[in-house]
Structure 1
Amino acid sequence: MYFAEGLTWEICIVGLSLTVFTLINLLTKPYKHKSDLLLCLWLLLLNIPLLQTALSHQGIDSPAFNLYTDPMLTLLHGPILYWYVRILVSSEDAKILKSDLLHLIPFVLFYLLYISMDHPHSMRPSIGSPDIAIGSAGEGEVMSLFRPLMVHFGLINGLVFVVYSIVTIYALVQHQKTITEIFSQNDNEISLKWLYTLPATFAALVLLNFMNENVLESAPVIDPLTFHMMSFLSFIILLCFFGVKQKPVFFLRKPSFENKIESETPIENSDANDNDLSDEAIARVIEDMQAYMRRGKPFINPDFSVYSLAEALNIPRRNLSQVLNSRLSKNFYQYVNEFRIDEVKALLQDPNHAKSTILDIAFRCGFKSKSSFNSLFKQYCDVTPSQYRKKVRQG
């Protein structure tokens, strides 16, 4: 038991220390976006159980602090996950709407219910005892009706987070489709694939916790309280490692030109629908686009986006996307990376670059990731980059 208490204390200190360092990093940034502030709030909420446990380990027990920072706060994690993702994938400056307050209803109801009840001791998991102990023989009949809700709070809290996880995953899937029309890269900061680890981590921890406390109830591998603190620490590590460097996907990537050009009349079109260009206009856009890509080679810039191309051609982004999708049957990501692959092939055939490594050539042509480069090269050329270079040298 002493070992378990010591390990729990160390976990709490690691989580609290890591959070303090991350908060300082986020709050001292020259520009703080709403997503940064929301991330700070999320980290503070995740650290409350760690702080309570650390204080208890030192013999400091404040019933008032434990009461008003009760476990009902965990009902906020689902809404915060959803809001955080929505802010990151929003193409405009995301705002908190009145309808967003509806997401707080479960938390408010459970929170008010909890602080209105008697509490023999705080809600802390332990071997051989329920996760929650509330109520007394003298509590009112009305309050006693709600006791089953509180007893099964862990299950309810888990279901709430699962629902928000599903909504969040759907938003991320839709985001994957959007970014291929906008960006020429698909790195972690743009794709937000790291956010999938949050629901996945939650599911894994719930399963392991269930096995530890129920399947192995007679001899649990890990003390339940220690396991719960490890669970909170897992989320803290993920958010601190990825969240501190995460920027809103579209923020500061959309030129001011875009706001201006989108409000102007689109280039010549044949129908009343502004999104339908005439054949002549489409042919002109394709000709200008191909010439610009070959002459200027803007694709060697890893951050080259559809907004940059639209600005260079002086046409609205929506018209450019229409041309790519309807006439070339490609999204922006595919279109740009075909030019990058062709440039890589040209340099691999160039004797002046015979001593350059394949990776150096790939980075010079605009790729940022070795894995994405190898995957795209194999997709377009049916051979790996090294096989292609070998074939060129042999031929």
Structure 2
Amino acid sequence: MSSILLFEFPSFNLYSTPLLLLVLQAFIFAFLLLHRYFKNKYIPALILALLIFITGYHRTTYTIGFMDWYDTYRNTKINYWLIALTLAIGPLLFFYVKSITTINFKFVKKDILHFVPVLIFMIYKIIIFIYDASLPGFNETQNGYLKLNLDEKYVQPLVGIIENLQMLLYLAFTFQLYYHYKSKIRQFFSNTYKLELNWIRNFLFIYAFLFLYSVFQNVIGNLIIDLHWTQRWWYQFFSAVAIIYIGIKGYFTNTNTLSNINFDINVRKSTKIVLEKTDKELNERKLIIENFMNNEKPYLDPDLNLTQLSRMLNIQVQELSETINNGFQKNFNDFINSYRVQAVQNMLNEGKQKKMSLLGIAYECGFNSKATFNRVFRKLTSLSPSQYLQVQDSAR
């Protein structure tokens, strides 16, 4: 009497359970972000919801595999419908960062071109299913003729190469967009810790890490040694953990900070002409600004920005920006923070550190975070605040 090995689905084991829990949570955050989009018409929420959903959806194949779906249902057709949508990840990354860093961002018709490859791939997958389903014996097998002899043999490897090249390009474009944004806000804001949105940086680094890890794993698995499915599980696990972090941070991080800020000014650097004003007029404006900064101390406001200072001085934003850039040879961020650092130094020289902490002094002088204070102080003095204090103490 022959024994029959029975497989049971679902199998909750060391490999399937973590993925299942993480993927389900990812779908929950995707739903919450989608709800935010429909409630507030906030486009970044929609894009992030799609990113999280697709990244979680890709984990579904491996989750049900580790739960013994394929062993239990040997003629399953689920491989036809678990369509790899990785071709959409790169464009969504780019548009997510662009939607945050662009005022009044809206999709335009030409943006659909970025998603043509994934749309073509989806149509192709539907076509091979229709064809295979029309062949006799399709119900008794897991993968039909085209799935085996065309899709898995030729198309999937080709699509994998295209996905990697596309992802590399979109990551490069997106990082360029992010760093251009960081450079731009330094012309407008005195404290950029929150406005630089470290969330965007972390978000991009996570997807860059997953991309590089995937490439490394595929190179090892295809060219060096055949990796066991348990070894490939780690990429799925890291991806699932990453989308939970992205879901939580993306949902609770306010990325709408700059919605009312106008960046549309040209900051031209010139030693001869500044908005067709003479050097004398430039020096007059410099003197006005210096006197105002020393007497009124607007830099003590941690939220001070270029627009606010221009209103205080009754100087046009563009004139003020170009005076700071060309007259003081600094961007707005460095210009304001130089006064804050000087104020900190003055308080330290007066011995205020005996009654207050260094961080407390920094807050008194207009800084809004420890990270910004330490970075700016070291940049402008070549010493950390504690090192500066040690030098002062030894000089007394």
Counterpart selection for 1:166 from 162, 168, 172: 172
SS for the counterpart of 2:128 is coil
For 1:325, give the aligned amino acid. Answer: N
In the other structure, the counterpart of 1:362 is 362
Change (3 A) 1:64 1:316: farther
Change (3 A) 1:101 1:363: same
In the other structure, the counterpart of 1:372 is 372
For 1:49, give the aligned amino acid. Answer: H
In the other structure, the counterpart of 2:258 is 250
- Indicate whether 1:104 and 2:111 are aligned: no
Structure 1: runs of 5 or more not aligned: 122-132, 263-270
Counterpart selection for 1:33 from 37, 42, 48: 42
What is the 5 A alignment of 1:14-163? Answer: 14-21=22-29, 23-24=31-32, 27=35, 33-51=42-60, 53-54=62-63, 57=67, 67-71=80-84, 73-90=85-102, 92-118=103-129, 136=145, 148-163=154-169
Deviation at 1:158, TM superposition (A): 1.6
The answer to whether the 8 Å contact 1:374/1:385 transfers is yes
Change (3 A) 1:198 1:393: closer
- Higher mean displacement: 60-69 or 6-15: 60-69
Deviations 1:114-134 (A, max 9, x none): 11114999xxxxxxxxxxx96
Deviation at 1:383, TM superposition (A): 3.3
For 1:177, give the aligned amino acid. Answer: S
In the other structure, the counterpart of 1:293 is 293
For 2:349, give the aligned amino acid. Answer: Q
For 2:239, give the aligned amino acid. Answer: F
In the other structure, the counterpart of 1:213 is 221
Whole-angstrom CA distance in 2 between matches of 1:99 and 1:93: 17
Deviation at 1:336, TM superposition (A): 0.7
Deviation at 1:351, TM superposition (A): 4.1
TM-score by length of 1: 0.77
Deviation at 1:188, TM superposition (A): 5.7
For 2:83, give the aligned amino acid. Answer: D
Whole-angstrom CA distance in 2 between matches of 1:276 and 1:238: 51
Whole-angstrom CA distance in 1 between matches of 2:96 and 2:52: 12
In the other structure, the counterpart of 2:236 is 229
Whole-angstrom CA distance in 2 between matches of 1:228 and 1:353: 49
The answer to whether the 8 Å contact 2:347/2:361 transfers is yes
- Cα RMSD (Å) of the superposition? 3.8
Whole-angstrom CA distance in 2 between matches of 1:145 and 1:383: 60
The answer to whether the 8 Å contact 1:89/1:248 transfers is no
Deviation at 1:300, TM superposition (A): 2.4
Change (3 A) 1:32 1:315: farther
Deviation at 1:282, TM superposition (A): 2.5
The answer to whether the 8 Å contact 2:16/2:64 transfers is no
How many residue pairs are counted as aligned between the two chains?
364
TM-score by length of 2: 0.77
SS for the counterpart of 2:339 is helix
- Higher mean displacement: 159-168 or 277-286: 277-286
Whole-angstrom CA distance in 2 between matches of 1:350 and 1:69: 68
Change (3 A) 1:77 1:195: same
Change (3 A) 1:278 1:249: farther
Structure 2: runs of 5 or more not aligned: 1-6, 133-141, 266-271
